[in-house]
A and B are shown apart, each in its own frame.
Chain A
Amino acid sequence: MFKRIVKNFGPEWGAAVMGTAALCITMQLSSEVARPFSPLLYIGLGFYLLAVVMFIAFFIPWTLRFFMYPEEIKKDLKNPIRGNFFPTIPISFILAGTGTNKLGPMLFGPSIAYHLSIVFFFLGTIGIFIFGFLLIREQFLNENIHLEHANFSWFIPPVSHLIIPVLGVCSMDVHWADTGLAPVLFIISMIALGVGSLNFLFVGAAIWHRYIYHTIPQGRLAPTIMVGIAPTAIIVIFLIKFVQAIEASHGTLFGINLISIFSLVKITASILWGFSFWWLILVAILLFTHYVKIKNHPLEFGWWAYTFPLEAFTVATGLLAQCVAIHFLQGMLLILNTLAAIVWIIVVFGTIKWLESGAFLNPKH
């Protein structure tokens, strides 16, 4: 049985860790709104611990599959949908590192937590860049990729690069500020930000082209539309965390002055947040006026795509609330956090039902 599990353990399982891990940050941010919400900090810690258990449980078969069933790995890498989910496990490293950075000091003190999150940072970064190159190579050289294959899961590799600088600047925030590691973290973060943000635009254009000039994907890929929320939301998170890192570095980081960039960051972050919000409404419109209407929205593992992007948007809202429209955005943060938790609960039940149906052992390529 274990061998069958390993053989069918697709690259997409990291999405479940992502969808659980990000909830620890949404809960933590919500806990800061007012004292009655303080328990959410500890519920966030509960999500962090659950995400760590899931991460370990999924990382073992995910890794074993590379050695036991390399032909399955090759098949998945060539698949224009499944292949894009490979970076979800390296992303989980980055999210585990971010969770450890924020909530780890509560478990084992700041020093261990900040060292551990740096280990996660480097492991995640290496994985993300390796899969980024493998997937782009595959997309360029594979002659069997056609217009009808384009879908929003193609955003996952750019998103994976965009998430690197989030942990990079979180780490520069306190412990590693003013150390020799800070410039290394900064340069890696900036490279990843460049790769992620430009690839997001290029890939987005390709997917947009398919959605306009071809049919839109079938119902089982409907949740991937949600991934479109993530890139701009993550850039918002990066921008605000970057400002906090500069603030922590006594107002100037690598010659970048807090006062001189703060206004620009507020404007840029608000614009990008607005795009994510617009996309969230777009997802609802497409979902209810098309997929639900034509009853083409089957229960799939892919429903996990509904979780992380919504949570990333929730985190972006919580962080933006520290700079602009404080009361309005804090209200939205609480609503979105509740919504994200409800979506997560629905998806967990859906996944168990999906596993019960036996679909896991008979994957559709």
Chain B
Amino acid sequence: MKYRSLIIALVIVLTPFVIGITLFLARSSGRIPVKAHLSADTRENNGGITYKGIKVDWTFYPDWEYKPLFWRAEKYLVFMFHYTNTNAHDIVLMPSYVFVSPGNRRYSANEEISMYIEDDIERTLNVADQTPITFKLSPNAPKHYIVTFEKPHKLKQFYVDVDIWKDASLRIYYRKKDDKWENYKIKRVNKYVGRG
């Protein structure tokens, strides 16, 4: 191979690695600071809910700011759910999440943003996020799951449905009061599980 060709090939091959490592170092060095304030962690005041031996807690960041490389920063509603199995046996979980704003507008969780901010949240809370769709929960070995929602403008209240049990889902209500987000209600919504 000629010297010139070798240089061209090396430049092509190294480009993605150089870009990637540079961006990673820039993000993790703290030059792009994490802007988020904690609103609530139900583990601190035992504010979670237990049903059928599954204890659900959550940590809520109402304005987690994420700045894309070439675009303005936007704020997201970020939850980290903590699942603990208080039964004597293993169980398998397959939770799903829906965000509902006034007018019954439903939003799905944004997996991409969760993926980008995962390291920061894991570092902040010192826990590891679960990536599988379904995961095994052993007794008293909590597992954690990051859920991010795009934040509609001028949001004043909302609720999040956590579909976790076969016959019920957890509904968490939030509203803004004195510029602070308040978890004013938690409800277990029963699901129809019969035929027809």
Contacts and interface: CB of A to CB of B under 8 A. Distances in A.
Contact of A46 (B2, B18, B115): B18
A177 B21 CA distance: 34
- Judged by DSSP, the binding face of A is helix
A322 B68 contact: no
A326 B132 contact: yes
Contacts of A250: 96, 98, 106, 108, 161, 163
A190 B2 CA distance: 49
A39 to B, nearest CB: 4
A272 interface: no
Given A39-B20, A46-B18, A250-B96, A345 B13 contact: yes
Interface of B: 1-2, 5-6, 8-9, 12-13, 15-21, 23-24, 27-28, 68-72, 74, 94, 96, 98, 106, 108-113, 115-116, 118-119, 122, 128, 131-135, 150, 161, 163
B108 A177 contact: yes
B6 to A, nearest CB: 8
A102 B24 contact: no
A10 to B, nearest CB: 20
Given A50-B16, A110-B113, A262-B134, 5 more contacts: A43-B20, A101-B112, A109-B74, A173-B108, A240-B133
B5 A38 contact: no
A32 B131 contact: yes
Nearest to B94: A262
Contact of B16 (A38, A49, A248): A49
Contacts, number: 146
A15 to B, nearest CB: 15
B17 A43 contact: yes
Contacts of A35: 119, 122, 128
A44 B113 contact: no
A107 B112 CA distance: 12
A352 B8 contact: yes
Contact of B9 (A174, A177, A321, A349): A349
Nearest to A24: B16
A243 B133 contact: yes
Contacts of A47: 16, 20
Contact of A356 (B1, B17, B119): B1
Contacts of B19: 42-43, 45-46, 49-50
A28 interface: yes
